[in-house]
Amino acid sequence: MPRYADKIGSLLFCPDCGTLLSLPQDGEFEVVCEQCGHVEPASSYENIEIVTRSEPDAFPSALRQKRKTQTKVHAANEDLLKVTEKCPECGHMEAYSKEAQLRSADEGSTIFYTCVKCKFGWRVNN
Ligand SMILES: [Zn+2]
Ligand SMILES: [Zn+2]
Protein backbone atom coordinates (compact mmCIF):
# COMPACT_ATOMS: atom_id res chain seq x y z
CA MET A 1 0.00 0.00 0.00
CA PRO A 2 1.58 3.29 -1.06
CA ARG A 3 1.24 6.12 1.42
CA TYR A 4 -0.30 9.35 0.26
CA ALA A 5 0.37 12.89 1.35
CA ASP A 6 -1.45 14.42 4.32
CA LYS A 7 -3.81 17.14 3.16
CA ILE A 8 -4.29 20.24 5.25
CA GLY A 9 -6.51 22.76 3.51
CA SER A 10 -5.09 23.03 -0.03
CA LEU A 11 -1.58 22.03 1.04
CA LEU A 12 0.02 18.58 0.79
CA PHE A 13 2.57 17.31 3.28
CA CYS A 14 4.94 14.37 2.84
CA PRO A 15 3.54 11.33 4.73
CA ASP A 16 7.07 10.19 5.59
CA CYS A 17 8.81 13.32 6.86
CA GLY A 18 6.11 16.04 7.00
CA THR A 19 7.77 18.35 4.50
CA LEU A 20 5.45 20.66 2.53
CA LEU A 21 5.34 19.27 -1.00
CA SER A 22 5.62 21.63 -3.95
CA LEU A 23 2.94 21.76 -6.66
CA PRO A 24 3.48 19.48 -9.68
CA GLN A 25 4.83 21.22 -12.77
CA ASP A 26 2.89 21.13 -16.03
CA GLY A 27 3.19 17.70 -17.62
CA GLU A 28 4.57 16.04 -14.46
CA PHE A 29 2.72 13.05 -13.03
CA GLU A 30 4.40 12.99 -9.67
CA VAL A 31 6.01 15.21 -7.07
CA VAL A 32 9.18 14.14 -5.26
CA CYS A 33 9.73 15.20 -1.64
CA GLU A 34 12.83 17.36 -1.44
CA GLN A 35 13.70 15.95 1.99
CA CYS A 36 13.27 12.20 1.77
CA GLY A 37 12.53 11.42 -1.87
CA HIS A 38 8.93 10.28 -1.25
CA VAL A 39 7.07 10.16 -4.56
CA GLU A 40 3.57 11.63 -4.48
CA PRO A 41 1.33 11.12 -7.54
CA ALA A 42 0.10 14.38 -9.10
CA SER A 43 -3.44 12.95 -8.88
CA SER A 44 -3.39 13.82 -5.16
CA TYR A 45 -3.50 17.44 -6.23
CA GLU A 46 -6.48 16.82 -8.51
CA ASN A 47 -8.49 15.73 -5.47
CA ILE A 48 -7.66 19.02 -3.80
CA GLU A 49 -9.08 20.91 -6.77
CA ILE A 50 -12.40 19.12 -6.23
CA VAL A 51 -12.37 20.22 -2.59
CA THR A 52 -11.75 23.82 -3.66
CA ARG A 53 -14.62 23.65 -6.16
CA SER A 54 -17.09 22.52 -3.51
CA GLU A 55 -16.09 25.37 -1.18
CA PRO A 56 -18.74 27.91 -2.34
CA ASP A 57 -21.34 25.62 -0.74
CA ALA A 58 -19.96 26.71 2.61
CA PHE A 59 -20.84 30.35 1.96
CA PRO A 60 -24.66 30.20 2.00
CA SER A 61 -24.66 28.73 5.49
CA ALA A 62 -22.25 31.40 6.65
CA LEU A 63 -24.53 34.08 5.20
CA ARG A 64 -27.57 32.47 6.80
CA GLN A 65 -25.79 32.58 10.14
CA LYS A 66 -24.99 36.26 9.69
CA ARG A 67 -28.61 37.04 8.80
CA LYS A 68 -29.78 35.26 11.94
CA THR A 69 -27.52 37.48 14.04
CA GLN A 70 -28.84 40.62 12.38
CA THR A 71 -32.44 39.58 13.03
CA LYS A 72 -31.61 39.14 16.69
CA VAL A 73 -30.16 42.67 16.89
CA HIS A 74 -33.22 44.07 15.12
CA ALA A 75 -35.58 42.37 17.57
CA ALA A 76 -33.68 43.85 20.51
CA ASN A 77 -34.20 47.39 19.17
CA GLU A 78 -37.81 46.85 18.16
CA ASP A 79 -39.37 48.90 20.95
CA LEU A 80 -36.98 51.79 20.40
CA LEU A 81 -38.45 54.70 18.49
CA LYS A 82 -36.32 57.21 16.63
CA VAL A 83 -37.51 60.72 17.46
CA THR A 84 -36.41 64.30 16.93
CA GLU A 85 -35.02 65.32 20.28
CA LYS A 86 -32.02 67.47 21.06
CA CYS A 87 -29.23 65.68 22.87
CA PRO A 88 -28.16 67.71 25.93
CA GLU A 89 -24.67 66.30 25.59
CA CYS A 90 -23.72 66.89 21.95
CA GLY A 91 -26.70 68.79 20.50
CA HIS A 92 -27.54 66.10 17.92
CA MET A 93 -31.22 66.25 16.91
CA GLU A 94 -31.96 62.51 16.75
CA ALA A 95 -32.51 60.17 19.68
CA TYR A 96 -34.02 56.78 20.40
CA SER A 97 -36.91 57.07 22.80
CA LYS A 98 -38.47 54.49 25.04
CA GLU A 99 -41.48 55.21 27.19
CA ALA A 100 -41.76 53.58 30.59
CA GLN A 101 -45.10 53.65 32.39
CA LEU A 102 -44.74 54.20 36.12
CA ARG A 103 -46.77 52.33 38.72
CA SER A 104 -49.71 54.73 39.14
CA ALA A 105 -51.33 56.87 36.47
CA ASP A 106 -50.83 59.97 38.66
CA GLU A 107 -47.10 59.68 38.35
CA GLY A 108 -47.39 59.84 34.60
CA SER A 109 -44.72 58.32 32.46
CA THR A 110 -41.04 58.72 31.92
CA ILE A 111 -39.52 58.81 28.49
CA PHE A 112 -35.98 57.57 28.17
CA TYR A 113 -33.86 59.02 25.39
CA THR A 114 -30.61 57.75 23.97
CA CYS A 115 -28.67 59.98 21.59
CA VAL A 116 -28.21 58.37 18.17
CA LYS A 117 -24.83 60.05 17.76
CA CYS A 118 -23.03 59.89 21.11
CA LYS A 119 -25.23 57.32 22.92
CA PHE A 120 -25.76 59.72 25.81
CA GLY A 121 -28.82 58.73 27.81
CA TRP A 122 -31.29 60.98 29.64
CA ARG A 123 -34.91 60.90 30.68
CA VAL A 124 -37.86 63.25 30.71
CA ASN A 125 -40.78 63.01 33.14
CA ASN A 126 -44.19 63.82 31.72
ZN1 LIG B 1 9.42 13.47 2.77
ZN1 LIG C 1 -25.46 63.20 21.75
Give, as residue ranges, everything with CB less than 5 Å from ion ligand 1.
14, 16-17, 19, 33, 35-36, 38
pLDDT at 67 over 70: no
Percent of the chain with pLDDT over 70: 67
**Whole-number pLDDT of residue 18:** 93
23 CA to middle of ligand 1, Å? Answer: 14
115 CA to middle of ligand 2, Å? Answer: 5
For the structural domain made of 81-125, what CATH number should be given?
2.20.25.10
pLDDT single digits (tens) 71-95: 444 445 556 789 999 999 999 999 9
Distance CA 14, CA 35 (A): 9
**Whole-number pLDDT of residue 7:** 86
**Domain ranges across the chain:** 1-76, 81-125
**Whole-number pLDDT of residue 1:** 63
Give, in degrees to the nearest 5, the angle at Cα 68 between 63 and 72: 145
| Count of other CB atoms within 10 angstroms of residue 10 | 12
Q: Which of 91, 95, 92 is nearest to 112 (CA)?
A: 95
Q: Which of 102, 105, 85 is nearest to 94 (CA)?
A: 85
32 CA to middle of ligand 1, Å? Answer: 8
Q: Which ligand lies nearest the alpha carbon of 87?
A: 2
**Whole-number pLDDT of residue 60:** 59
